[in-house]
Structure 1
Amino acid sequence: MSGSNNTSQRIRVGLMGFGRIGRNFYRLASETPNVEISVISDVGQPEILHYLLQRDTIHGSFQHEARLENNRLLLDDGRSSEMILGVAPGDVPWNSYDVDLVVDATGKYLGKAHMEAHLAAGAKRVIITNLPDEKIDRLVVMGVNDDTISPSDRMISAGSSTTGPVALMLKIMDEKFGVDRAMMTTIHAYTSDQPLADTAGSDFRRSRSAAENIIPNETPTAKWLGAILPQFKGGFDGIALNVPVADGSCVDITYQFKNAEATVEAINEAMFEAAGKMPDIIEVTEDPVVSSDVIGNRHSLVFDSKATMKTKGRLVKTISWYDNGWGHAARLLDIIQAYARFNEKEGAA
């Protein structure tokens, strides 16, 4: 399932949070004719938010003309978004804007009570752009478990930029070769909640300068992987290393296969096969790429076929690259399209 399977009806989206993921999502939605972000809720001033949309340090200038008039963002194709002040779930009366679903891209409100506050304010569905704090209706990873989504889902997580490539790699390797257990390290670009200078925070290591250090960090992907792929519950763990790079991340996974027969060539061939089945989600490269090469790449992962390694026994290592902002926003669009198809079927019934 991918973003190419768009519905014919226009999808009206309410967006809370116009930070990096929110703006990436807006940019991608502007290239998707059947998606309209009807209202944008954020704590920032509309003029500054408009400026940040137009001029992005990583992705460059916005390719559309987008005017700001009377706190309304007007796209050159006629679509428009009202920009309003909203701090937390429950602040915005979503039923007043007739939206089909709400995307919470704040990265802050990850509990069930927060999502219920959106629903109580009139949202029909809520999709958070991070992993949740607790079990909710559905945690969706495109290409892994999107075939399990249901019309009854109301509280949904789109996972995270790291969860996508990790779950995809584990699913493919397990189905093809059988995996006993696995460990991962994501070498991740720094994030907006890290300080540029040493600053006292709630976490010792994350109090250090993101611009000057490689910082070990816990990753919730390890906790939630077992919920996505139950066969790995208790058999998977991992860590993140946040590095002084603005964008472009990679995930290094070490697997213990169930048998020693798989070769490097067979592993790479399995990924070429997977990319053929999911061309919008997986890319395989034979080029000697580095992190900046994947900036602006919409795939969940770019598999590095030159980096595949295997010992004489059952130990295997793979490396996959991903744009930790852009690719994740692209999958968010795919998830929205998938749920909109339920609405289209209900309307036709």
Structure 2
Amino acid sequence: MADTASTQTPEWNTQQELAERMVPLLGSLYRENNVVTSIYGRSLVNRGVIDIIKAHRYARRVQDAPLSVAATYPLVEAMAAMDLGAANVDLAELAARHKESGQDVQAFLDAELAEVKGKGGEGLGEPQDVVLYGFGRIGRLLARILLDHAGGGSKLRLRAVVVRKNSEDDLVKRASLLRRDSIHGPFDGTIVVDEDRNVITANGTEIQVIYSNDPTTVDYTAHGIKDALVIDNTGRWRDDEGLSQHLQAKGVKKVLLTAPGKGEMKNIVFGVNSDDITPEDTIVSAASCTTNGITPVLKVIQDDYGIDHGHVETVHAYTNDQNLTDNFHKGSRRGRSAGLNMVLTETGAAKAVAKALPELKGKLSGNAIRVPTPDVSMAILNLELNKATSVEELNARLKQESLTGVLRGQVGYVDSPEVVSTDFVGSDRAGVVDGLATLVNNDGKNAILYVWYDNEYGYSHQVVRVVEKMAGQQVPTFPKA
């Protein structure tokens, strides 16, 4: 008989067994009860065994041991039997509070989750129809995220995509681009194309593909879509006048721009100024990927140390607006080959920060270098602080924010000596601080921070968070602060 003894440690085997038991419970909580679970802000929805174990590898504080699956599994098991209403639950924070309480698991949860106990999934409200106007890099990633959230835990329902028809086999090509991506890999699921109805069915969700060159003439109600929230990914219009064309279409209620908005339009960086969104807002901007990447980190620094002034240099992946080989371009330098050159260009992100963080108005300058990589960018923040600090203190503060702070969904932290840009492909954080690169000069007031950000995927997650806010998706978060 072959030797089937495991070569893995008993500790690993225990974690794996508990994580295997946890997967169906987490799925049931999400789909049947609209409960979104996370570990230090890292979502556990639709995650596998290894993902769950990896999420537990962090410690709440520097002096603590890493979180154990054995500490969170009893909580998940008990929650699954409580018929909870819609909620966001951070299991790491819940486990820490449970340990401090010294209570029995059920007694602890009965008190902690009393607000949603026995509510049977209630709390999300009516579903919100979402339309993607444009289906490029950001549009397709938004579709992936929205589809991943479908079936529970979110009121957002992707109903349609609006594009210009470019060829007779346009629908097949659109579906193929959704199915395969050179940077982010294959779509996780199944995609079926119905050319007779112009419908792409992805993981059981029917997405109506509407062909139009004019946003005012689209009749969404003809496809059963009502009070839709349109996400404009085209960048064609960036002011209220242009984007208001969407509101003239039948079945549209609100519009979100995935680019910096002009004029008095609200530019929202989720987690920083998302509370500025009101039910009356009909047109809102989700700002830029770089503004989202740096503003949450800047807010932490501003709140704790104060920023007198600074400079932001972005090292940005090339984008579709650049040329593959040298050719005419209306912008300076961007006509030169994106795959062969570092291209010095401008960025409005430093000034745009002030739209989300007004206290930094006039305090930041900025520039940008486009480099020959297809995704993941870096922002170098050179800041003159009002209050002195050290590398150790600054890193500890940012790491703590990434684990337990109010911006833990936006700010990430890493201190691995070998990380490079491709390690951040697929990161859902707005920006990730590279702790080993942090510098502070001798007087402690000049700090230089390096912040990685997936300018496609991380930004798309920020956009979805803004959409949820605009849709009025507000469910309680546990444990309470």
Structure 1 length as normaliser, TM-score? 0.92
Equivalent residue for 1:217, pick from 345, 355, 380: 345
Further displaced range: 88-97 or 50-59: 88-97
Q: Unpaired segments of 5 or more residues in structure 1?
A: 345-349
What is the aligned partner in structure 2 of residue 162 from structure 1? 290
SS at match of 1:124: strand
Q: 2:434 aligns with which of 288, 291, 304?
A: 304
* Aligned equivalent of 1:42, options 156, 163, 171: 163
- CA deviations on 1:63-88 (whole Å, 9 max, x unpaired) are 110111031011233x2111011234
2:136 to 16, 19, 22: 19
Aligned length: 340
Q: Tell me, in whole angstroms, the C-alpha distance in 1 between the residues paired with 2:214 and 2:328.
A: 25
Name 2:110's counterpart in structure 1.
none
CA distance in 2, matches of 1:7, 1:129: 25
Match of 1:264 among 377, 383, 391: 391
Aligned with 1:127 (options 256, 265, 268): 256
Q: CA contact under 8 A between 2:301 and 2:307: conserved in structure 1?
A: yes
| SS of corresponding position for 1:328 | helix
Amino acid at match of 2:264: K
**Residues 241 and 80 (structure 1 numbering): CA distance in 2 closer, same or farther, change over 3 Å?**
same
1:59 and 2:184 correspond: yes
Higher mean C-alpha displacement, 17-26 vs 282-291: 282-291
SS of residue paired to 2:399: helix
Contact 1:89 1:115 in 2 (8 A): no
The runs of 5 or more residues in structure 2 that have no matched partner are: 1-40, 44-86, 89-122, 476-481
Structure 1 residues 291 and 284 mapped into 2: Cα distance closer, same or farther (>3 Å)? same
Equivalent position SS for 1:283: strand
Aligned to 2:215: 89
3-state DSSP class of the match of 1:27? helix
Q: How far did 1:257 drift? A: 0.5
Residue 98 of structure 1, aligned match among 216, 219, 226: 226
Q: Secondary structure at the match of 1:139?
A: coil
Deviates more, 1:38-47 or 1:304-313: 38-47
Q: Give the aligned residue type for 2:206.
A: S
Structure with the bigger percentage of strand: 1
Report the 3-state secondary structure (helix = DSSP H, G, I; strand = E; otherwise coil) of the residue aligned with 1:84: strand
> Which residues of 2 match residues 139-154 of structure 1 at below 5 A?
139-154=267-282
Which of 282, 297, 318 is the matching residue for 1:190?
A: 318
TM-score, scaled to structure 2 = 0.68
Q: Which moved more, 1:29-38 or 1:234-243?
A: 29-38
Give the CA deviation at 1:118.
0.6
**Residue 320 of structure 1: aligned partner:** 451
Query: 1:180, 1:256 within 8 Å by CA — same for their partners in 2?
Result: yes
Q: Which of 400, 403, 411 matches 1:273?
A: 400
CA contact (8 A) 1:110 1:132 kept: yes
Deviation at 1:37, TM superposition (A): 1.4
Q: Which residue identity does 2:200 align to in structure 1?
A: L
What is the DSSP-based 3-state SS (H/G/I as helix, E as strand, rest coil) of the residue aligned with 2:334? helix
Output the CA distance in 2 between the equivalents of 1:199 and 1:42. Answer: 27
Counterpart of 2:253 in 1: which secondary structure?
coil
Counterparts of 1:235 and 1:14, CA distance in 2: 37
RMSD: 1.9
Q: Which amino acid aligns with 1:26?
A: A
After the TM superposition, which parts of structure 1 deviate over 4 Å for at least 4 consecutive aligned residues?
A: 2-6
Letter paired with 2:134: G
Q: Structure 1: which amino acid aligns with 2:357?
A: L
Which residue of structure 1 lines up, in the alignment, with residue 464 of structure 2? 333
Instruction: Return closer, same or farther for 1:91/1:199 CA change in 2, 3 Å cut-off.
Output: farther
Equivalent residue, structure 2, for 1:252: 380
Deviation at 1:266, TM superposition (A): 1.2
Partner of 1:73: 200
Q: Deviations over 1:192-211 (max 9, x none)?
A: 11111011111120111100
Partner of 1:284: 413
Q: Shift of residue 62 of structure 1?
A: 0.7
**SS, match of residue 162 in structure 1:** helix
Verify: 1:111 aligned to 2:228, yes or no: no
Query: Take 1:227 and 1:333, find their aligned partners in 2: how far apart are those partners?
Result: 20
CA contact (8 A) 2:332 2:345 kept: no
Q: Who is 1:207 aligned against?
A: 335
CA deviations 1:247-286 (Å, max 9, x no partner) are 1111100000113x21111111111222122332222111
AA matched with 1:48: K
Give the corresponding residue for 1:347.
none
Structure possessing the higher radius of gyration over alpha carbons: 2
Q: Which residue of 2 aligns with 1:293?
A: 423
Kindly tell me: are residues 230 and 279 of structure 1, through their superposed partners in 2, closer, same or farther at Cα, counting changes over 3 Å? Answer: closer
Q: Distance in 1 between matches of 2:214 and 2:346?
A: 25
Q: Is the 8 A contact 1:249 1:323 kept in 2?
A: yes
Contact map agreement 2:295 2:357 (CA 8 A) in 1 = yes
**1:236-247 to 2 correspondences below 5 Å:** 236-247=364-375
User: The residue matched to 2:242 in structure 1 has which SS?
Assistant: helix
